[in-house]
Structure 1
Amino acid sequence: MRIAVTSKSGTEVDQHFGHARRFLIYDYRSHNPEQISEVEVEKYCSFDPDHPFRHRQFDAIVDAIKGCKAVVTAQIGELPKMELEKIGIRPVIASGPILEALKLAHDSICGGQCKGSMRTGQDCPH
């Protein structure tokens, strides 16, 4: 399963979706998540108090994280969250170590029931 992560540090989930200028892309397999790429994007947030939906920036981010089932981020606005959900990408709010957040994202999609759950120690079929 592919999962995008917002991170400034590269080790922690420590960035707001709208402030991210890059997304780390992981291939999550039980016990062995691997970073497979890093994609740069124009940040979504414009700091406009009215928070208009920025279609061009959002569409570019979606294109950059194509194939991901989830986005792990420290925070996300309600409108981009709803738009991600509409296209089948689950926003997962987390902070702390990336590896723990990847497990959380995976299990939130699979409910911890698939073979990829860290509880079973088997390969994920995603």
Structure 2
Amino acid sequence: MLIAVTSRDGREINQHFGHAERFLIYEVDGGDARLVDERKIERYCTGESDHSQRAHILSSIAGALVGCRALVCAQIGPGPLMELERLGLEAFTADGPIKATLVELAKVL
């Protein structure tokens, strides 16, 4: 299964959803997770106080996640979380090493 991750350094899940400018896409199979793609996106958070006008960005982000079973990030606000779920994507918050975290998450998906 494919799982998207937000990461500043490519090793740890350590980036807020709204600050991400890319998703790392991992194929998780059994006890292994391997990087298979990187998808660039428009950053959701721009410093504006009203994110409600950014729904089109969430739709674009959801498009970048097509084929992924889930998204894992360090943090995500309630608005983007609800919108991604409405679009059919499960989002999880976690921190720590990417591969080990994804292998554990895959056990419950």
Q: Is the 8 A contact 1:6 1:15 kept in 2?
A: yes
Please give the per-residue CA displacement for 1:33-89, whole angstroms capped at 9, x wherever unaligned. Answer: 111100111101122223325122111111111111110000001011011112221
Please show how residues 61-100 of structure 1 align to structure 2 within 5 Å: 61-100=61-100
**For residues 81 and 108 of structure 1, what CA distance do their matches in structure 2 show?**
19
The structure in which a higher percent of residues are helix is 2
Identity among equivalent pairs (%): 43
Give SS of 2:52's match.
Answer: coil
Distance verdict in 2 for CA 1:93–1:104, change over 3 Å: farther
RMSD of aligned residue pairs (Cα, Å): 1.4
Give SS of 2:82's match.
Answer: helix
**For residues 36 and 85 of structure 2, what CA distance do their matches in structure 1 show?**
23
**Paired position in structure 1 for 2:23:** 23
The number of residue pairs the alignment matches comes to 109
The amino acid of 2:92's aligned partner reads: V
Unaligned runs of 5+ in 1: 110-126
Distance verdict in 2 for CA 1:104–1:84, change over 3 Å: farther
**Paired position in structure 2 for 1:8:** 8
Distance verdict in 2 for CA 1:65–1:45, change over 3 Å: same
Distance verdict in 2 for CA 1:101–1:36, change over 3 Å: same
Q: Is the 8 A contact 1:6 1:74 kept in 2?
A: yes
Runs ≥4 residues deviating over 3 A:
none
**Paired position in structure 2 for 1:118:** none
**For residues 58 and 86 of structure 2, what CA distance do their matches in structure 1 show?**
13
**Paired position in structure 2 for 1:47:** 47
**For residues 58 and 27 of structure 2, what CA distance do their matches in structure 1 show?**
22
Q: Which has the higher contact order (CA 8 A, sep 6+)?
A: 2
